[in-house]
Chains A and B, each alone.
Chain A
Amino acid sequence: MALLEVKNLHVKYGNVEALHGIDIEVNEGEIVTILGANGAGKSTTLMTLSGIIKPSEGEILLEGKPLHRLPAHKVVRERITQSPEGRRVFGTLTVRENLNLGAFTAKDPKQTETNRKWIYELFPRLQERRQQLAGTLSGGEQQMLAIGRALMSNPRILLLDEPSLGLAPILVKTIFDTIRQINETGVTVILVEQNARVALKLAHRGYVMEVGRIVMQDFASALLSNPEVINAYLGGKD
């Protein structure tokens, strides 16, 4: 059985339907990427997985158990954590306080300290700036903090929404290398990205969304060489 199953998921904003019944399967240990243009419904999908948005129809199953009825703060207790689009770090709190809140649901203080050490190894800048207010960090540092904060809860499934948005190419590489490292420790990753090429190089499998529907799904390597994908998302011929 897949770790996470999304079945016929519909989401409505008022009277407008944003997701028209999507199906996604994620296996343990995978990196799965969701590609698509602006407004395709990628962030809506992640927010629904996190329980912030409630589906109007369909279900989300974690190891067969329904997840879509849980309020957002209980989804985190199932060890599914999101680093949201636009980072949304708490600007008036210090870096350290932001990380502490990431571990809000954690029960084992020892595990939390191990996680903190690991995050400081992944992102040494965060350790240097741990007493600084998060609002004073640069965009790249805030992205590191957003990912680090999500990791503090010791997640099984990490949802990443546009981690490369607004970052310099060199930083994008650092962030993506780190995502690979995180995945190698056994964390399943669902990655939403506009930067399709980097995402497909990192991911095992990918889904392509268009206006609230999944229009394609395949292994990442197959999508990378798929002419339609190349035309629409990889900027034409290589």
Chain B
Amino acid sequence: MEQFFQQLTNGLAVGGIYALIALGYTMVYGVLKLINFAHGDLFTIGSYLGLTLLTSMALTDKLGPFFGILLLAVMVMILVGIVGILLDQVAYRPLRESPRLSAVVSALGASIFFQNTIMLIYGASFHVYPQNILPRMVVNVFGLHIPMIRILVLLASVVMMLALYTFIQKTTIGTAIRAAAEDQGAAKLMGIDVNGVIMIVFFIGPALGGAAGLMVGLYYGQVNFTMGWIYGLKAFTAAILGGIGNIPGAMVGGILLGVIEALGAAYISIAWKDAIAFLVLILILIVRPTGLLGERVAEKI
């Protein structure tokens, strides 16, 4: 039982990270019907930026671990968000009127560009996050010994998801984003600046992805320039699992995938971890091709 709950909480934390990355895929897909294949690399940029800022500015020494990490996260999110906007302006915006395949190829190109840039700057070897940033506390929850960092990762991802959900559902800009995702032409007729909406989406998605990168660095302690590939693929799976284009779907899909993967690794075999994740994807696509929460509304014709 102890092992089950350890794996469950671990799965929830990893799932939260998947969900944050998946939101970037699903939001961009929502407004542009484009899979941003460079998104995984924005995640990697987040983890490396976190590492650089953490070591060069010694934030945690000056502000204490919690406020230091908080400020670090805000800085990483803003910077990666700006990279996201630049990515859209350079790689996607000139191709808005072109066939979708051109933008997909451009996305793959951007991904290769980012990966190699990171490698040229930081080198190809693994980088280690400084240890002892956060006190190595273990929290006792109902007799279960859970590392503090796991709780923080889970908490942070839940807070960010709730904030995003509130923003999308309750604010005028959020409503405009949903409208532009449904019908860009009609959104323009409402006076919505659709290019502005796309820019906001290309800020928020990468910002969340960058935060996820920072979390992975803090959680696992090491980063590598290729790690965006597998995380991106898992998060993409999570987005499909929940129903691509659907924001709550990406959240549910991410958490679910993290949990299934962690339990599968524990009870079946750790070697099969990735295979289990993708098997889930295949099963969902066979049983419910639109994903778990896809197609909420039947369109009236």
Chain A residues near B (Cβ < 8 Å): 50-52, 71-74, 76-77, 81-82, 84, 88-93, 97, 100-102, 104-105, 133, 135-139, 142, 149-150, 153
Contacts and interface: CB of A to CB of B under 8 A. Distances in A.
B269 to A, nearest CB: 41
Interface in B149-185: 172, 175-176, 178-179, 182-183, 185
Contact of B178 (A50, A93, A102): A93
Contacts of A136: 297, 300
Contacts of A52: 185, 188-189
A101 B297 contact: no
Q: Which of B178, B189, B191 has the most CB of A within 10 A?
A: B189
A98 to B, nearest CB: 8
B178 A90 contact: yes
Given A88-B183, A88-B185, A100-B175, A135 B191 contact: no
Q: How extensive is the interface on chain B, given as a class?
A: 20 to 34
B185 A139 contact: no
B191 A92 contact: no
B298 interface: yes
A135 B193 CA distance: 23
Interface in B266-301: 296-300
Contact of B182 (A77, A90, A100, A153): A90
B27 to A, nearest CB: 15
B298 A76 contact: no
B137 interface: no
Interface in B180-206: 182-183, 185-194
Contacts of A153: 190-191
A185 B213 CA distance: 57
Contacts of B300: 91, 135-139, 142
A153 B179 CA distance: 16
A137 B191 CA distance: 24
Contacts of A90: 178-179, 182-183, 186
A111 B299 CA distance: 32
Contacts of B189: 50, 52, 72, 76, 81-82, 84, 88, 150
Nearest to B297: A135
A73 B175 CA distance: 16
Given A91-B299, A135-B300, A136-B300, A104 B182 contact: no
A77 B192 CA distance: 10
A104 B186 contact: no
A73 B193 contact: yes
15 contacts: A52-B188, A73-B191, A73-B192, A73-B193, A88-B185, A88-B186, A90-B178, A90-B183, A91-B300, A92-B296, A100-B172, A100-B175, A105-B191, A136-B300, A139-B300
A137 B301 CA distance: 11
Contacts of B175: 93, 97, 100-101
A161 to B, nearest CB: 10
B299 A84 contact: no
Q: Which of B179, B183, B190, B192 has the most CB of A within 10 A?
A: B190
B161 to A, nearest CB: 20
A88 B248 CA distance: 24
Given A73-B193, A90-B178, A133-B297, 7 more contacts: A88-B185, A91-B299, A93-B175, A101-B179, A102-B190, A104-B191, A136-B297
Contacts of A92: 178, 182, 296-297
Q: Which of A101, A105, A138, A149 has the most CB of B within 10 A?
A: A101
